[in-house]
Structure 1
Amino acid sequence: MNNMDQLTEQYKEKFPHLKSYTECVSRTFISGLAATFITFSGTYMAVSLLKNKLPSSRPGHLNVVAAGLLGTLVGFQVVYTRTKACNNGWLAAEDRATYLRPLAESGAADSSTTHAD
């Protein structure tokens, strides 16, 4: 199942909003990749331009490592927050329990709770 259209068609009955969720997650990963690239490039260029004014005598490869780590952290943060937003949006669209609509209000709790006498 390499084709997402086949997957969404297969689970259309059970998860009607799966296609919008997969599109959201796809945009999220592209945004994370772009944030990583932009942060890495910006950090590396800034350090390269300011290397004469900075009071450090680090070799050039450490600047690449530092820019790579910062870019990775920023990209991870972007993906993390946007993935949570996609998950919450999908749960809300599927009418499942969310932070704004707890399980007790959705009616699912009524059918799943049983009281023993």
Structure 2
Amino acid sequence: MNDIRRLKEQQREKHPGFAPYLECMTRSLFTGLATFCLGFSSTYFLQKLVSKRLPYRLQTSILISTLVATGAAYKVTADRTSSCQAGWMAAEGKFTALSNVEEGGEEDGRQELS
């Protein structure tokens, strides 16, 4: 088993934003897992409520519930992990949205024509 506390201590000097990044990623992944569980169960039970009107079998309703839950969980996890990565880059002082402006460049990379 990995010792997360020891890893945080080792990286504290080199990367001061590592501990918040690790916590943010953990929250993101568990949020995605919770989204999958809630999405699957709500879709499945919604299909069970209207099962008399739906023309497909149990295996199909499980497949549909799985696909809906997977899509929702992927979207939530991808959005949250990208915000964690942006926070990590900002904590490291690299690749922020303002780094180009601070260096004196144009905001979006375009140059004005005279």
TM-score per shorter chain, which class? Answer: 0.7 to 0.9
Superposed CA deviations along residues 48-91 of structure 1, whole A, max 9, x for unmatched, are 1001123x2x1111100110111111111111000000000111
Among candidates 99, 105, 110, match of residue 102 of structure 1: 99
Distance 2:57 2:42 in 1: 18
* 2:14 aligned counterpart, secondary structure: coil
Mapped to 2, the partners of 1:48 and 1:33 lie a distance apart of 23
What is the identity, as a one-letter code, of the residue corresponding to 2:99? P
Please list, as runs of the form range in 1=range in 2, the aligned pairs for 1:52-63 lying within 5 A after superposition: 52-54=52-54, 56=55, 58-63=56-61
2:81 paired with 1:83: yes
Aligned residues of 1:96 and 1:103 also touching (Cα < 8 A) = no
Kindly, what percent of the aligned residue pairs are identical? 34
What CA distance in whole angstroms lies between the structure 2 residues aligned with 1:94 and 1:85? 14
Give the letter aligned to residue 78 of structure 1. V
Q: How many Å separate the matches in 2 of 1:95 and 1:101?
A: 10
Q: How does 1:42-61 map to 2 (within 5 A)?
A: 42-54=42-54, 56=55, 58-61=56-59
The number of equivalent residue pairs is 104
Counterpart position of 1:17? 17
CA RMSD of aligned residues (A): 1.8
The whole-number CA distance in structure 2 between the counterparts of 1:101 and 1:89 is 13
Give runs of aligned pairs for residues 57-72 of structure 1, distance below 5 A.
Answer: 58-72=56-70
Q: Deviations over 1:25-58 (max 9, x none)?
A: 000011000000000001000011001123x2x1
Query: Where does the alignment leave 5 or more consecutive residues of structure 1 unmatched?
Result: 108-117
- The structure 1 segments of at least 4 consecutive aligned residues displaced by more than 4 Å after TM superposition are none
Amino acid in the other structure paired with 2:17: H
Q: CA deviation at 1:105?
A: 2.9
- TM-score, length basis structure 1: 0.81
- Please give the TM-score of this superposition, normalised by the length of structure 2: 0.83
